[in-house]
Chains A and B, each alone.
Chain A
């Protein structure tokens, strides 16, 4: 089984975000980075599928700055076999521009499966995986939280709003992986050592045209100060009224 997993280097979400001088990006001074959370489930799924199939290859593909090689190495240390780094100084806001670069890389790879995390927790677009499927004209299942592959067919499960569904698909296919599918393994020491010797190719990302731009980013307004509306059971009618008419959540 030959599987590609597309991963993204993302900034540490616990940092205190500050808007950079350009007003449209984050001040990344002193920031830490890691593999996007959802991509970890995709890597783990790929490793399990490869091992279950008794062989094959897991290739990591990551588009981003040269520092993304740190995250690529981590994926290799988890057990992936090789990696391709598509070098781009900045990751564009337009998912389609990214998808075009990834599709160009993946098109002739003869992959049985191309996996993505359901979304990147920084840009939160959930767009690149489905777009790659479209550009490669491959079957697509997004937000997979259950997965079984037998031969050249797969069965996936996903959770909808208030429902869930089971999906059957043929291979090759593109899947985006939701949390809960598995527990991603931690790299072990042997894996870290081995990763240093695994092949990592770098080539420039052939980004597509950028149709969408981030023109500004802002921090959310501070919450208004809290308000005590009353005491004890007597305050309940007022609470119900406010929830219905002001907050509109009832």
Chain B
């Protein structure tokens, strides 16, 4: 039976959002192929408490491995556990999240199983006997379609490409034992600092709020930062003109000679949209622009443009975002 195994990533006793995204993708794949979805979640004692949530997102079976040495990420123990379970379970597809941990673990598991591996995919489907997945390559400038007829096939899913959705399923809990002794792993995570202490890096931030010369003065970037804080998980960027004027550090500069970013949301404030800036952010998924010049080139690229004075629009937008995000 073409069953799908989903590796559900948890951290600090919580399922990560990407785990639910992987569940949704796995559910779709299994339903199409007429198979079951099994979720595997590993962690310290108490991890079984996450099973209902996985069931609610489509897991027919939730495989739970609990061990004190699985408190932190334990790559070696997880590799052994997942590879063994894949082998005995006869899964057609194993789905990981293309998170930092997932991208270490998935290829290692694939290698142990001598399985086909498609990483960081944005779509995945079973077509005839083959697994077909699409994967952005060359810094997102091209998309490659990967095909394999090998079984099992291991994939990792790019975060944010599958919207987690509820799908009631049995979520039958099945406890599984670690393979070998997890506390004997050679590689150990000795400390985890929740919430990155450093400010969110531009290349990592899912949301970037960026200001140009239209912000008029360095001190006006306070309202750019306020909007970023209201959005959460947002970083502040700027144009070259702004960093050249010393309003912001050069490390914040987005563009041809600065950083090239592709966040989910890019908000361009007082940015005219010179090609050299566009080159740094054109792969953003959604682009919002606020500029007082209706003819500004940025509006050719913006999914949502507002013509107006940034100094008026931005504070009001910050307030509206806070209101909209209440309860997050």
Contacts and interface: CB of A to CB of B under 8 A. Distances in A.
B144 to A, nearest CB: 5
Interface stretch (B46-54, B58-66, B105-113, B168-176): B105-113
Contact of B103 (A126, A166, A232, A237): A126
A27 B264 CA distance: 30
Contact of B304 (A94, A163, A243): A243
Contacts of A219: 141-143
A13 B138 contact: yes
A162 B233 contact: yes
A96 B189 contact: no
Nearest to A228: B305
A215 B145 contact: yes
Contact of B107 (A130, A164, A168, A214): A130
B305 A162 contact: no
Contact of B308 (A155, A232, A249): A232
Contacts of B73: 165
B117 interface: yes
Interface residues of A, number: 77
Instruction: Output the residue of B115, B144, B286 with the most chain A CB within 10 A.
Output: B144
Interface in A215-248: 215-220, 223-233, 235-237, 239-240, 242-244, 247-248
A128 to B, nearest CB: 8
Contacts of A250: 231, 321, 324-325
B195 interface: yes
Contacts, number: 259
B163 interface: yes
Contacts of B324: 240, 244, 250
A140 B308 contact: no
B84 to A, nearest CB: 14
A35 to B, nearest CB: 16
A149 interface: no
A200 interface: no
Contacts of B250: none
B306 A93 contact: no
Contact of A212 (B137, B147, B300, B325): B147
B301 A226 contact: yes
A147 to B, nearest CB: 14
A158 interface: yes
B20 to A, nearest CB: 14
Interface in B153-206: 159, 163, 186-198, 201, 204
Contacts of B201: 159
Interface in B53-82: 72-73, 75-76, 79
B105 to A, nearest CB: 8
Interface of A: 11, 13, 17, 19, 26, 93-96, 99, 121-131, 133-135, 139-143, 155, 158-170, 173, 211-220, 223-233, 235-237, 239-240, 242-244, 247-250
14 contacts: A124-B119, A125-B135, A127-B119, A130-B105, A130-B107, A130-B108, A159-B198, A165-B193, A223-B282, A224-B303, A227-B305, A240-B324, A247-B286, A247-B304
Given A95-B107, A125-B119, A211-B116, 13 more contacts: A26-B138, A139-B186, A159-B198, A160-B100, A161-B100, A163-B193, A163-B195, A166-B190, A211-B148, A220-B143, A232-B313, A233-B313, A250-B325
